[in-house]
Structure formats: C-alpha cells, structure tokens
C-alpha cells in the first residue's frame, strides 16, 4: 500500500492493513494517562511465568527482579482510545549484554478488538480483549481488570500533580511474534507525578489465573515506585526479530 506524500515526508513505513485500517510506523501516541508501578519480586517466581527459552530474567538484586505494571488509558492513539494493563519483567535476550535489558511483556489485556489484533500480529504482544475500566476521582484513579469474565485486579493510584514536565525515556519491549523472539523499540513519556506515600497505592487481587500468577510473585504488596502522568506521549517503532548469539 502506497504512502501519502505527507506520510512519506514524515519517514513513515507501512506495515500493512488490519480491519481496513492502514498500520504505519512510527506509531505516535498523542495523549495517554498512565500509572506505572514497580515491584521487587522473586526472580525464580518471575522466571516460572516466562514463556519459551529465548529471554531471561534480569536480577535487580541477587534473587530478585523487577515486575512492571503499567495501567494505561489511551486518549489519542492511532490504534484507538482504549485501556490496557501492561505486565512485564526486567529481562533480556539470552546471551544479550547489559545494553539489551528491557521489559518482557507477559500479559497485556486491552479492551478493544483492533488494538488486540494489531498488537498480536504486528508486535507479538500477548494482547487479549478483556474488560478494563478507568474511574477518575479528584484525588485517585482506579483501574479495574476483569480477565476471562472474573474480577482479577484493581489498582488505586493517587492522582499526584506533576513536579515538572514528563521525561521521554527510550526503552525496548520484548515478546514473541509467531513463536520467534521479537523486540519493539519505543520512547515513552514518564509522568513526573511521583507518589511519595506509597501506602496510598492499593493493589487488590481477585480471582482466576492472572490473579494467581500475581500472588505467586508476592502481590498484593506496596510497590517500590509509583508514578502517575496525564497527557503523556509515546512513539513506537517498527519491531525486529531478535537474533540470538552464543
């Protein structure tokens, strides 16, 4: 499919078409509200949830790794105004060096069909369509995940005010695309609203396999770090297959 002149000038690449919509890269997110939570969890328990043998958990301290949960409410996104719960671990490809450390996405429920299909086919992200709500109050935001028809996870995060502009951070997300190790490069705004009273962050688990997986990691517990940001942006680049060396 040919690019328009405007797309060509922006250096865009056409991946293809999904549900009648042309998918191009880079994919630019104009606005999103995002809560990011980091937890220290047992490395062995995290490794037990990792599929395949091409990626390995990276220990943040001996015997432990980082669990990253990002609750996203996308407002302006080419793939839709959807909600997403991104669950991943600090990881890298086997034989990879420190420069290859990123986040392996092991669960990524979303609440719309297009982004699910696009994420599966284009990035290899393990997206499934579930029920996700984001409820805003003056002082907190509450994300609810119903996975497989069962109440699974509730996150309550203070809507702290930013203490400065967001910081755009380069990162890499790992996944499997058609059974092959895959990497998606991105730049993501990190909200500068840091939650200093971490006891105000509530993590509640419900029923089902995903809730049980999070319990196996020691949740619910207080996170090591929590941030909140509104009107954040991001840029996702066309991914690539990971070549393992060793």
Q: What is the fold of 5-239? A: Acetoacetate decarboxylase-like (2.40.400)
Higher pLDDT, 8 or 146: 146
Residues 108-130 have pLDDT tens digits of 999 999 999 999 999 999 999 99
Mean of per-residue pLDDT scores for the chain: 94
Tokens encoding 100: 């290859």
How many CB atoms sit inside 10 A of residue 11's CB?
A: 9
Asked whether residue 8 carries a pLDDT value surpassing 80, the answer given is no
CA distance 177 to 16: 16
Mean pLDDT, residues 22-46: 97
Residues 94-113 have pLDDT tens digits of 999 999 999 999 999 999 99
Give the pLDDT band of residue 66 (cuts 50, 70, 90): very high
Give the pLDDT confidence score for residue 9 in this predicted structure: 43
Are 89 and 57 in contact by the 8 Å Cβ rule? The answer is yes
Tokens encoding 10: 């922006």
- Dihedral over alpha carbons 35, 38, 44, 49 (to 10 degrees): 10
Beta-carbon contacts of 87 under 8 Å, excluding residues fewer than 6 positions away, are 67, 68, 69, 105, 106, 107, 108
Give the pLDDT confidence score for residue 11 in this predicted structure: 62
Helix, strand, or coil (residue 173): strand
The residue length of the chain stands at: 246
For the purposes of burial, counting CB atoms within 10 Å of the CB of 89, is it exposed (0-12), middle (13-18) or buried (19 or more)?
A: buried
CA dihedral sign of residues 168, 88, 181, 16: negative
CA distance 51 to 74: 27
Give the pLDDT band of residue 5 (cuts 50, 70, 90): very low
- pTM of the predicted model, to two decimals? 0.93
Residues 165-182 have pLDDT tens digits of 998 999 999 999 999 999
Give the pLDDT band of residue 190 (cuts 50, 70, 90): confident
């Amino acid at each position: 499919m040919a690019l328009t002149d405007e797309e060509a000038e922006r250096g865009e690449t056409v991946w293809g078409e999904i549900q009648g919509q042309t998918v191009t890269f880079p994919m630019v997110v104009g606005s999103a509200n995002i809560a990011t939570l980091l937890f220290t969890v047992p490395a062995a328990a995290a490794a037990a949830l990792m599929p395949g043998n091409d990626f390995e958990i990276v220990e943040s301290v001996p015997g432990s790794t980082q669990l990253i949960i990002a609750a996203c409410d996308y407002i302006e996104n080419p793939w839709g105004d959807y909600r997403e719960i991104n669950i991943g671990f600090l990881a890298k490809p086997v034989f990879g060096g420190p420069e290859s450390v990123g986040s392996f996405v092991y669960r990524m429920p979303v609440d719309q069909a297009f982004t699910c299909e696009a994420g599966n086919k284009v990035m290899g992200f393990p997206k499934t369509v579930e029920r996700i709500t984001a409820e805003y109050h003056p002082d907190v935001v509450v994300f609810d995940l119903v996975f497989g028809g069962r109440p699974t996870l509730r996150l309550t995060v203070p809507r702290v005010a930013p203490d400065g502009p967001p910081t755009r951070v380069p990162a890499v997300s790992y996944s499997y695309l058609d059974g092959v190790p895959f990497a998606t490069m991105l730049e993501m705004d990190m909200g500068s609203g840091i939650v200093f009273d971490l006891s105000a962050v509530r993590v509640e688990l419900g029923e089902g396999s995903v809730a049980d997986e999070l319990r196996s990691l020691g949740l619910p517990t207080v996170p090591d770090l929590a941030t909140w940001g509104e009107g954040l942006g991001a840029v996702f680049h066309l991914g690539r297959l990971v070549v393992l060396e060793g």
